[in-house]
């Protein structure tokens, strides 16, 4: 039987990721490359910001499902934190009455 602490520690081990997954399509600039006349090169990145600056992390295509799961865990945690924060505000509101 799982306990809450066990499940939480498993979630932390799995990780959470904040950011946006983007598919970039670029031309490399080499005259003889297939992208010069045809389809551009495709790469996947995780776009995120730190101290107001956007960063991009290259992601292998085979890692996308795991990255998406980590993003989903982040969204769940943020939703839970928002609910707790609103409940705290409500408690302070009741103290004033």
Range list of H helices, the chain: 4-14, 64-96
Q: pTM for the complete prediction?
A: 0.72
Please report the pLDDT score of residue 5 as a whole number: 57
Same-domain pairing of 64 and 97:
yes
pLDDT in tens, 44-82: 999 999 999 999 999 999 999 999 999 999 999 999 999
Q: Is 44 left (phi over 0), alpha (psi -120 to 50) or beta?
A: beta
Same-domain pairing of 27 and 40:
yes
pLDDT in tens, 11-48: 446 799 999 999 999 999 899 999 988 899 999 999 99
Within 13 A of 67's CA, how many CA atoms are on the CB side? 17
* Torsion of Cα atoms, 48 then 53 then 58 then 63, to 10°: -10
Residue 93 has pLDDT above 80, yes or no: yes
Q: Residue 65: give the domain boundaries.
A: 60-97
């Amino acid at each position: 039987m799982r306990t809450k602490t066990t499940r939480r520690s498993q979630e932390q081990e799995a990780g959470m990721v904040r950011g946006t997954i983007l598919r970039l399509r670029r031309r490399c600039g080499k005259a003889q490359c297939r992208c010069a006349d045809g389809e551009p090169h495709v790469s996947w990145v995780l776009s995120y910001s730190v101290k107001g600056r956007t960063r991009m992390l290259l992601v292998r295509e085979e890692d996308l499902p795991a990255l998406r799961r980590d993003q989903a865990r982040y969204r769940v945690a943020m939703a839970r934190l928002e609910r707790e924060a609103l409940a705290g505000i409500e408690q302070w509101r009741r103290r004033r009455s």
